Amino acid sequence: MLFCLFFSLLLLFASISCQVQNDRGEKKKSPGQSETVQEQEKDNDHEDMEKDQKSTGQEEEGAPEEKPGTMPPELLVHKPNELGEIMILMYHEIGYPESEWRRTPENFRRDLEILYEQGYRSISLTDLVRGNINIPAGTSPVVLTFDDGNKGNFYYQEKNSELEIAPDCAVAIMKSFYKEKPDFGLAATFFIYFPNPFRESQYIEEKLNYLAAKGFEIGNHTYGHANLSHLGSAEIQRELAQHVQATRKYVPGYEVNSLALPYGSYPRENFELLRQGSYEGITYRHEAVLLVGSNPSLSPFHKKFNSSRLPRIRASELKTDGVGLYDWLEYFGQNPHKRYISDGDPRYITVPESLKDLLNEEVLGEKEARFYAN
């Protein structure tokens, strides 16, 4: 049955090959399209044929019934669910000894290995909130975040009278893991505060520029690690704007676009000032505001996704109250239908039919929704 359908599609494909070539020519020219997408297109001939057939099917007698937004059957094995939940992991210090707020380098490395083995791939926080999730079919996104800019996140050491990034700090561990498993991705947000992020005052400029150049993100954690629930509106704006100003002093033009709330505390009123505001001519705008929290985030395509209150999961094994990283890994292992699973094609948002009503079509932009019976 499947073979017959495929064969008739092939015939159709041959008869309209000129049109197909035109369509494809245009597709490849579209601006900003990454190599990965093009590669995926190559692997997706079946789907292209369906689309091409869609555009000309009306003229063809007896052409199979069109089904807009149908998922290629070979994807079914992955059970893609782009409305599933996504873990945003919260780390603090990397170092010794292991504690509630400190992960050893060995344990951090193990976290990455286990995440990788279980099909997680790292994406940036910005890509999460913008819905730019471009990972292979069957894998799940995960976002790594580090609060406080402790030394163990990023420090230098001397080796043979040369300066190098210490191999046990978070940045070096992520880099070396990425070298081993490039498909894991290299992305994390460092929520730092001032005046001495990463605790080596002589290297602040070098480190912040290094992070920005490597595609890591620098996030707002207020200028001085302030408890925002104690502050009035002018002070809130001062704390947030001064962070942006200090970051730009070291990395000119850098756009700080996310905020992690120190202590997870937020003001009862003026919540909107966490998103955007200004102080003495310095403005800030955060696309994401992160809580401490204990749950995975909703998908950015979910109707209830709220980028102003994103929960995070503690990447720890001590005092996690049953809601730490390993608890959630176990949960998603037992409840795979709850987890965001990519369809491998950023042009589409693929969702099981039963969740259709939860899709926020307003954020799809150029993307097309497709559904499958589950």
Residues that bind Zn ion (CB under 5 A): 147-148, 262
Name the residue nearer to Zn ion (CB basis): 144 or 349.
144
Give min distance, CB of 148 to Zn ion, in A: 4
Nearer to Zn ion (CB atom), residue 82 or residue 148: 148
Cβ 321 to Zn ion, closest distance in Å? Answer: 19
Instruction: Give the nearest distance from C-beta 245 to Zn ion in angstroms.
Output: 19
**Residue 197 or residue 344: which is nearer to Zn ion going by CB?**
197
Least CB distance to Zn ion at residue 260 (A): 7
Q: Which is nearer to Zn ion, 20 or 274 (CB)?
A: 274
Least CB distance from residue 281 to Zn ion, whole Å? Answer: 27
If the CB atoms of residues 90 and 244 are measured against Zn ion, the closer one turns out to be 90
For Zn ion, the closer of residues 70 and 294 by Cβ is 294
CB of 147: closest distance to Zn ion in angstroms? 4
Q: What is the 3-state secondary structure (H, E, C) of the chain?
A: CHHHHHHHHHHHHHHCHHHHHHHHHHHHHCCCCCHHHHHHHHCCHHHHHHHHHHHHHHHCCCCCCCCCCECCHHHHHHCCECCCEEEEEEECEECCCCECCEECHHHHHHHHHHHHHCCEEECCHHHHHHCCCCCCCCCEEEEEEEECCCHHHCCEEEECCEEEECCCCHHHHHHHHHHHCHHHCCCCEEEECCCCHHHCHHHHHHHHHHHHHHCCEEEECCCCCCCHHHCCHHHHHHHHHHHHHHHHHHCCCCCCCEEECHHHCCCCCCCHHHHEEEECCEEEECCEEECCCCCCECCCCECCCCCCCECCEECCCCCCCCCEHHHHHHHHHHCHHHECECCCCCCEEEEEHHHHHHECHHHCCCCEEEEECC
Closest to Zn ion by CB, 212 vs 292, is 292
| In the complex, least distance from residue 191 CB atom to Zn ion, rounded to whole angstroms | 7
